Amino acid sequence: MSHLFLTARLILLAGALALAGLASAKGDEIAGLVAGHVDAALEVRNEGRPVDAALMLSDLLDALLDADEALDPAILSDVLFHYAKTLRLADRPDAAETMARRALQIDTGRLPADSPALAAVYSVLGAALLDQGRGAEAEIELRAALPIYEAAFGDHAYTAVTLYQLAQAADAQAHYPAAARLAARALVILTRVPEADQPDGLSGQARFLAARSYGEWYDSARRASDWGGTRDAMLGRAALAGAGQDRAARRVELSEFLLARSLESQAAFEAGRFPEIEVLAAVAMEIWQAEQDLDPVYMSAAMAALAHALSEQARPDEALAMQGRRFEFVTTAMQDRPVSVAYALSSYVTALTNNGQDAEARAVFARHAAALQGRLGGTDRAVLAMTEARLLSLDGDHASALRLAGEAQADLEAGGATAHDLQNFHSERSAIARRAGQYEDAYADLLRGRELADPAPGSFDAMYWDGSLAVIALYHLHRPGTALDRVRDASASLIGHASAQADARGIADEGREVTSLRNLFILRTEAVWGAAHAREP
């Protein structure tokens, strides 16, 4: 139906109702005219034009209110109800609230207290309040609707929608565990009620709503630090993505899901949310194991992220075991990708040395490095060179370690290395120079690494770089004033990071932050004392 035709119909119908005062329309005839106009407006709304539909319903409402004929309250309530729903879709939640309250005023007392029609009005009012960020008020209306739907329909999409909206209301009030439970209850219904049992207009939305509910469950569980809940929500979302019959489409959906999780994992890394990363990575691994013909790079990336998250949570044995599993996986499933093997080897050797297993690290490197050397380009060859330099440095052969670091730098610069590659290089060479007693070079390399990293102010990364620079400045270069400046920056970053994470849990629950705060306090105390009693060179 064209827009011009509908507009003409609106003008004619509204004009007839208003000007004739409904003189020629009585009883059932009025109901038929109104129903036809409401249907026309809903057709426009379903075409994705809620603003036009709202205008149609507004003119109809004006005509009805101007008419001389006494109106059946049921007719007026029905128009108000559909007008409220349409105003929500037109991004006018305040007006939607007004119309829903008018409908509720008519229906309260007119309809039985257990009428699903009354529950529908509660629901649209609650949704309009949610759209305005008024979670507590929305919860009151939605809780009035829920028992009516449960009694009338049981496990039905109406019930699931209301549970999902209640989850949103709880989340808006920072009641995260409750929000997670409500979203999970909605999903139980949405994932087991057959399509044929869905109400009109919802069967096509059930899958979409289920995905939204998984998202609400995941977000609320994460804010509540319920990592088991986040894992279950993510696995459910992945299963939903893979539920299609078309194998190729299913693989695309799963790949997109994993990509989204990897991007979220990166954001979580930057924010220092390592328990969350542990869940993200573990879920990605479970998905890959179920869909083993997906690119193994997903599995390798998930294992690397999981190992990093475990390490940052002071679980070195588990992190080392995961790096070992990753290296074994890559050498088996990705042996035709020497770059991937080289990076996995470097990570595994580094993990071994971090755990004090230097001899095993040397043995692993010796067994695999030679076969890779001729298969790598300059930038990737530099990764192996820096890994070997680390081993030589730990053995006390600082001259050879620094020579290899110089060769690696030449490869990186010639190969157009990324800022991230150079950042890692300068950080590692700083550690080598520090072991060699070349503290000026160690400080300069670390400072260059910080410049390349360009951490966000107030982030945990900024705290790490500034704290590390302060240690060298105070204990090795004997520059307490410089150290004190760096400690101040690091402390500000830690406080900023902790504040950003305090939405669902306090700093007392963040072991890594508490440890860092204690270490910075000690460092600051010594820097203040040093600045007061010594001059910098």
For each of the chain's 537 residues, which pLDDT tens digit applies? 444 444 444 444 444 444 344 434 455 666 777 888 888 888 888 888 889 888 988 888 887 777 656 678 888 888 899 999 999 989 999 999 999 999 999 999 889 999 999 999 999 999 999 999 999 999 999 999 999 999 998 888 788 889 989 988 988 888 877 887 888 788 777 766 555 444 444 444 555 566 677 777 777 777 776 767 777 777 776 766 655 555 566 666 666 666 666 667 777 776 677 888 888 888 888 878 877 677 888 889 889 989 998 998 889 999 999 999 999 999 999 989 999 999 999 999 999 999 999 999 999 999 999 888 788 887 888 889 999 999 999 999 999 999 999 999 998 888 778 888 888 899 999 999 999 999 999 999 999 999 998 887 777 778 888 888 988 988 899 888 888 888 777 777 666 555 555 443 433 344 455 455 556 555 566 655 555 555 444
Sequence-separated (6 or more) residues with CB below 8 Å from residue 316:
310, 351, 354, 355
Amino acid at 397: D
Tokens of 146: 């829920």
pLDDT of residue 277: 84
* Residue-level pLDDT at 196: 42
Token reading at 49: 């034009």
User: Which DSSP string do the residues of 409-458 spell out, in sequence order?
Assistant: HHHHHHTT--HHHHHHHHHHHHHHHHHTT-HHHHHHHHHHHHHHH-PPTT
* CB of 285 closer than 8 Å to CB of 303: yes
Q: 419-435 and 398-414 helices cross at what angle (nearest 10)?
A: 170
Given this model, what pLDDT does residue 68 score?
A: 55
Return the pLDDT at 257.
67
Spatial distance between the Cα atoms of 327 and 298, rounded to a whole number of angstroms: 14
- Please report, for residues 272, 278, 314, 389, 460, the alpha-carbon distance to residue 498 in angstroms, rounded to integers and kept in the order given: 10, 19, 18, 36, 9
Cα–Cα dist 313/512, whole Å = 7
Task: At 464, list the tokens.
Answer: 């790490």
Contact 34, 16 (CB under 8 A): no
Q: Which tokens go with 57?
A: 């319903």
pLDDT of residue 437: 95
Yes or no: say if 444 and 409 are a contact pair by the CB < 8 Å rule: no
Tell me which residue of 45, 82, 85 sits closest to 60, measured CA to CA.
Answer: 82
Q: At what angle are helices 439-453 and 419-435 packed, to 10 degrees? A: 160
